[in-house]
Chains A and B, each alone.
Chain A
Amino acid sequence: MTTPAPTVLARDLTMTFGRTRALDGVSFELVPGVTGLLGPNGAGKTTLLRVLATVSAPDSGSVHALGLDPRHTDQRLDMRGRLGYMPQEPGFHARFTAFEFVDYVAILKELHQRRARHQEVRRVLELVGLGAVRGKQIKALSGGMRRRVALAQALLGDPDLLVLDEPIAGLDPEQRLRFRELVSQLGEGRTVLLSTHQTEDVVALAQQVLVLHLGRLRFVGTPLELAGLARGHVWQSQERDPGALAAWRTGTGQHRNIGNPPPGADLLEPTLEDGYLLLLGGDQVQEAAA
């Protein structure tokens, strides 16, 4: 099996806000499919997504997406025409109806022919299951519906690259399931970069994972590889192991510990979350030791 050609190439991205380094030499490649971007609050996820969406320019480093370099205005425009961006806070115009809002964004995306644009707006609203409420004002929609409106506008023009900033945050389980289903379909044939706090979303959707922490890329690989980082570092015990980096009581009444197990520990099969926690926790341990 051959590896598909990368659609996004990021090299040594650096971005600073005052004294804070939001991105610190970040390099990665994305291929078609869903890529999960994990990281705690303040890790730099939104900054990275804004750079990929051409909203911000990095202080240094480069991004090439879909064969285009956004440093050149013509190519940046082309790139914007081929990407869909769902910001963490889309900034809804509450008095617009769902249709009017998506139509407005469609105009900003230069879908200029009225009839074709309206068809496209109806298509994306149907795609996210909002066809029946397209005439409702956004302020009258539930939080989950608003997230779907935000996703709908990102889908305008059937983009090749989708950049979704925490699209599943705040949704109830049923809505999350629908969202996963939709994002999974979208990931077939196009590149989707999805940031989230939720490791289970990454497990469910992503073929590739990026872990960002304090502006640095800590991991690039598959979900299995991320989980594999914790192999031999997860064990269960009756009591919380004081030597563990993290430990919690599970539904079985046993404690699940992550860290360096004591000799003879009852090792468990690691999950992606274990790998993620170990990655971040290990870093914290090293920092403390230093």
Chain B
Amino acid sequence: MTTAIEHDDRSPAAGSPGGVPAGARSRRSMLALAAVESGRLLRHPAVLAATALSVWLLWRWGRGTAPVLHYADIATQVPLAPLAGAALLATNLAVLRPHRDGAVDLYGATRLSLARRTLAHLLSVLPLVALGGILVVADLAWLASMPGSVGTPHLAEAATGLALIALGGCLGVLLGRLVRSVALAPLVLVALAFGSLTLAELQIGGHDQRPWTWLGTLLRAPPFDPPPAALLGRPATWHLVYLLGIGVALAALALWRSLAQARARRRAQVAAAMVLVAALAATAAAAVVQTRPTSSALAERRLAVVRNPAAELVCQRRGPANYCVFAGFEPQIDLWEPTVRAVVAAVPPAAAARALPVTVAHRVGLHRLIDEDVNLGVQEGQGPSGPMVAPVGTAWGRDGPLFELAHARLAASVAARLVAPTRGDGEEPQWTPCNAQAVVALWLGGQASPQAAEGISQAVTDPFSEILVFSHDPVLDDPQWGVRAGRFALTLLDRPRDQVTQTLWRNWDLVTAPETTIERLGEVLGMQPPSGADC
């Protein structure tokens, strides 16, 4: 049995028309081939479709989240996954092109070696990586230009999506060099997507609880309001090294395979094998480091923040409110201020004067990054920060459900503090979530903005909620609301604002008294309250 002859790179003695040494000529031809292949890769239908999908995902992700750049960088990774998948498929098809089209003989009579062709295919992925880079930079620049943008992107987090694209391309090339079937790459892609998404779902609870999930590739940001960067503790740099190590290993394996197939010189094969071993060593080291448990110092700091967030907050007075935020998040106060002012404006001035200033405090779901068996020292439904706080998160975007819920959460919480103020130092507010007080507070919250009103509507009509909440984290000290009160508030929000305002202001002490029932409020307003239990 005979085999097709390939060849390795040879000495300068080999033909060198134009006075160009054979080695240089071969390298330049390889770069020319890489340029042609990258052009075809960028025009490949799978890549075009994936690019459109990635752009949409980035826009969709950015649209509904707060411009917290040290969190937004993580959110660029999953949207680039389609490009990584497309890179896998398209490079695999390109590598297999001579086999698919029966051009093996034609290629076999040409000078450029199989290894150089493999290298050209690997290099052809770089422009696609650059395209991903442009998307990431554009996305982060877009977010950074938004009002209230805070934080600084982490280079490794922002580069992780790009490493995924490179990884996909290298895997496509390797599969093409190992198996001459176009059916393999789609199967591998499906398996990888399934595995990665499963790991990502396991991971979103926080890496501390399942550090081994970092051995996957797609690592979504945990779905809570972004905390300060120092408290995140993601091993982003090591994860990037891990992914790059795998990518280089795949590339070296593809190259070694090509050299072996071509029976190239042993020296070249040994060099490829050494790169492979080095890449595997780097990958293994990064895998070990990235799956180490969180340092005790970071764990203690997180716990301290959860137990006593006030100690970490910096406060500043603006108009009717004190805003207390984690350091660095001050620009976001500008986002919250119009909502607070609008709610205050809907309250009788005298009543507002008694209640103000209200404290608006920054809350994040950091407790999700703390081991489940650690006692947070917080009772469910009772926040750790004291009663005089209107919690606000950083899930603040331009539009969309997250934004509306965030608006509603802040507006309703501020309103709750205004209708149930403390009567003296250290006194607990008399908050009754199932009485008239709750209806009035929700109505006031709905006056803040159309988005707040929409958020209240979403929360009230959520069929899975037995109680009305705007944040599902019990430790975030959000007020709770009865569903019946919510339904009544929605009816009230549909009525003319001036008419309702006049009636409520005339009867303010009555309708905000803790003991006033929903039925009594209905009598005052001349409306029939919705049926059902109060809570």
Name the residue of chain A whose CB is nearest to the CB of B12: A74
Mark each residue of chain B from 95 to 123: 1 if its CB lies under 8 Å from any CB of chain A, else 0.
Answer: 00110011111111111100001000000
Quick check: is A127 within 8 A (CB to CB) of the other chain? no
Quick check: is A59 within 8 A (CB to CB) of the other chain? yes
Mark each residue of chain B from 5 to 35: 1 if its CB lies under 8 Å from any CB of chain A, else 0.
Answer: 1011011011101101010011011001100
Mark each residue of chain A from 47 to 76: 1 if its CB lies under 8 Å from any CB of chain B, else 0.
Answer: 000100111111100000000001001101
Quick check: is A108 within 8 A (CB to CB) of the other chain? yes
Name the residue of chain B whose CB is nearest to the CB of A75: B14
Q: Judge whether A74 and B10 touch: CB under 8 Å.
A: yes
Given A74-B13, A107-B29, A80 contacting B110 (CB threshold 8 A):
yes
Q: Judge whether B103 and A92 touch: CB under 8 Å.
A: yes
Name the residue of chain B whose CB is nearest to the CB of A103: B36
Quick check: is B296 within 8 A (CB to CB) of the other chain? no
Quick check: is A285 within 8 A (CB to CB) of the other chain? no
Which chain B residues lie closer than 8 Å to A105 at the CB level? 106, 110
Nearest Cβ in chain A — how far from B47, in angstroms? Answer: 14
Quick check: is A77 within 8 A (CB to CB) of the other chain? yes
In the complex, which of the residues A17, A54, A93, A107 contacts B109, with contact meaning CB atoms closer than 8 Å? Answer: A54
Nearest Cβ in chain A — how far from B22, in angstroms? Answer: 7
Q: Judge whether B10 and A91 touch: CB under 8 Å.
A: no
Quick check: is A264 within 8 A (CB to CB) of the other chain? no
In the complex, which of the residues A18, A78, A91 contacts B98, with contact meaning CB atoms closer than 8 Å? Answer: A91
Counting chain A CB atoms within 10 Å of each CB, the highest count among B1, B22, B109 belongs to B109
Which chain A residues lie closer than 8 Å to B106 at the CB level? 85, 87, 90-91, 105, 153
CA distance A109 to B102 in the complex (A): 18
Nearest Cβ in chain B — how far from A165, in angstroms? Answer: 9
Total CB contacts across the A-B interface at under 8 A: 114
In the complex, which of the residues A73, A87, A153 contacts B8, with contact meaning CB atoms closer than 8 Å? Answer: A73
Mark each residue of chain B from 63 to 77: 1 if its CB lies under 8 Å from any CB of chain A, else 0.
Answer: 000000000000000
CA distance A6 to B105 in the complex (A): 26
Quick check: is A131 within 8 A (CB to CB) of the other chain? no
CA distance A88 to B320 in the complex (A): 86
Q: Judge whether B112 and A110 touch: CB under 8 Å.
A: yes
Quick check: is A83 within 8 A (CB to CB) of the other chain? yes
Which chain B residues lie closer than 8 Å to A117 at the CB level? 32
Which chain B residues lie closer than 8 Å to A85 at the CB level? 105-106, 109
Nearest Cβ in chain B — how far from A89, in angstroms? Answer: 5
CA distance A74 to B265 in the complex (A): 12
In the complex, which of the residues B10, B26, B32, B103 contacts A73, with contact meaning CB atoms closer than 8 Å? Answer: B10
Given A91-B102, A93-B103, A103-B36, A55 contacting B5 (CB threshold 8 A):
yes
Which chain B residues lie closer than 8 Å to A90 at the CB level? 103, 106
CA distance A89 to B107 in the complex (A): 12
| Count of residues in A whose CB is under 8 Å from the partner chain | 44
Which chain B residues lie closer than 8 Å to A77 at the CB level? 7, 10, 14-15, 22, 111
Mark each residue of chain A from 98 to 125: 1 if its CB lies under 8 Å from any CB of chain B, else 0.
Answer: 0010011101111111100100000000
Which chain A residues lie closer than 8 Å to B230 at the CB level? none
Q: Judge whether A55 and B109 touch: CB under 8 Å.
A: yes
Quick check: is B533 within 8 A (CB to CB) of the other chain? no
Q: Judge whether B32 and A57 touch: CB under 8 Å.
A: no
Nearest Cβ in chain B — how far from A153, in angstroms? Answer: 7
Nearest Cβ in chain B — how far from A173, in angstroms? Answer: 27
Interface residue tally of chain B, by bracket?
35 or more
Name the residue of chain A whose CB is nearest to the CB of B11: A74
Given A56-B4, A77-B15, A108 contacting B33 (CB threshold 8 A):
yes
CA distance A16 to B2 in the complex (A): 8
Name the residue of chain B whose CB is nearest to the CB of A87: B105
CA distance A73 to B7 in the complex (A): 7
Q: Judge whether B109 and A80 touch: CB under 8 Å.
A: yes
Which chain A residues lie closer than 8 Å to B18 at the CB level? 113
Which chain B residues lie closer than 8 Å to A15 at the CB level? 2
Nearest Cβ in chain B — how far from A90, in angstroms? Answer: 5
Which chain A residues lie closer than 8 Å to B105 at the CB level? 50, 53, 55, 85, 87, 89, 91
Nearest Cβ in chain B — how far from A156, in angstroms? Answer: 9
Interface residues of A in 181-195 (CB under 8 A from B): none
Nearest Cβ in chain A — how far from B46, in angstroms? Answer: 14
Q: Judge whether A78 and B15 touch: CB under 8 Å.
A: yes
CA distance A55 to B110 in the complex (A): 9
CA distance A108 to B108 in the complex (A): 9
Which chain B residues lie closer than 8 Å to A110 at the CB level? 25-26, 29, 110-112
Given A56-B4, A56-B5, A57-B2, A108 contacting B15 (CB threshold 8 A):
no
Name the residue of chain B whose CB is nearest to the CB of A92: B101
Mark each residue of chain B from 117 to 140: 1 if its CB lies under 8 Å from any CB of chain A, else 0.
Answer: 100000000000000000000000
Which chain B residues lie closer than 8 Å to A80 at the CB level? 109-111
Q: Which 4 A-B pairs have the closest CB atoms?
A: A91-B103, A108-B110, A91-B102, A112-B28
Q: With contacts A56-B3, A83-B109, A91-B106 known, what are 13 further pairs, Cβ within 8 A?
A: A16-B1, A53-B109, A56-B2, A73-B8, A74-B11, A91-B103, A92-B101, A92-B103, A93-B101, A94-B101, A105-B110, A108-B110, A112-B29
B residues within 8 Å of A by Cβ? 1-5, 7-8, 10-11, 13-15, 17-18, 20, 22, 25-26, 28-29, 32-33, 36, 97-98, 101-112, 117
Write 21 A-B pairs (CB below 8 A) sorted by A numbering: A50-B105, A53-B108, A54-B108, A55-B4, A55-B105, A55-B108, A55-B109, A56-B4, A70-B5, A73-B7, A73-B8, A78-B15, A81-B15, A91-B103, A94-B101, A107-B112, A108-B33, A111-B29, A112-B20, A113-B18, A114-B32
